[in-house]
Amino acid sequence: MIEVIDTEHCTACDICVSVCPTNVFDKTDGIPRIARQSDCQTCFLCELYCPEDALFVSPFADAPQTVDVAALKEATLLGSYRRAVGWVEESRHLRAADRSYRLFGH
């Protein structure tokens, strides 16, 4: 489930409010609010669209977890999915890294 909006980096662009398929976030005057956490489907897509790597989705789908933002940063987990799919400048080559054709038919 979505656990964190990192207030230090969030620019209140509201992209996450638009892209979350299950409408988990609400707009505010500033940083969006995680308004309906239990509706989160743990799809990780808000992380991909957040331009500031300010969101963290815990992989636990059924229960909220306590997470420590400092530790997440330490472990470079913020933005890790975005980097892995090539949605940041430094890793653009990964967009075409799919090797599924080597794995199908096993």
Partner 1 sequence: MTNSPGRAEKLSSSAGSVVYDADVLVLGGGPAGTWAAISAAEQGARVVLADKGFCGTSGATAAAGTGVWYVDPVPERREAAMASREKLGGYLQDRRWMARVLDRTYAQSNQLADWGYPYPDDDDGRPQRNSLQGPEYMRLMRKRTKQAGVTILDHSPALELLVDGNGVVAGAAGLRRQKGDRWVVNAKAVVIATGGCAFLSKTLGSNVLTGDGYLLAAEAGAEFTSMEFSNAYAISPAFGSVTKTLFYSWASFTDEQGSVIPGASSKGGRSVIARALRKGPVYAQLDQADAATQRHMRASQPNFFLPFDRTGIDPFTQRFPITLRLEGTVRGTGGLRIIDDSCATTVPGLYAAGDAATRELICGGFTGGGSHNAAWAMSSGYWAGHGAAEFARQLGTTIGRQAFRRGAVGLRSGNGRPLQGGALARSVQDEVFPYELNYFREAGRLGESLARLDALWLDASTADAPSEQELLRGREAAAMLATARWMYRSALARQESRGMHRRDDYPGQDDRYLHFVTTGGLDEVWTSARPLASAQYAEAAE
Q: Provide, rounded to whole angstroms, the least separation between the CB of residue 71 and ligand SF4.
A: 19
What is the 3 state secondary structure string of the chain? Answer: CEEEECCCCCCCCCHHHHHCCCCCEECCCCCCEECCHHHCCCCCHHHHHCCCCCEEECCCCCCCCCCCHHHHHHCCCCCHHHHHCCCCHHHHHHHHCCCHHHCCCC
Say whether residue 22 binds partner 1 (CB under 8 A).
Answer: yes
Task: Out of 13, 34, 49, 52, name the contact with partner 1 by CB under 8 A.
Answer: 49
Q: Provide, rounded to whole angstroms, the least separation between the CB of residue 67 and ligand SF4.
A: 14
Say whether residue 50 binds partner 1 (CB under 8 A).
Answer: no
Say whether residue 62 binds partner 1 (CB under 8 A).
Answer: yes
Say whether residue 52 binds ligand SF4 (CB under 6 A).
Answer: yes
Q: Is the dihedral of CA 88, 21, 42, 3 positive or negative?
A: positive
Say whether residue 78 binds ligand SF4 (CB under 6 A).
Answer: no
- Which amino acid, residue 74? E
Site residues (vs ligand SF4, CB under 6 A): 2, 5, 10-16, 20-22, 24, 32, 40-46, 50, 52, 54-55, 57
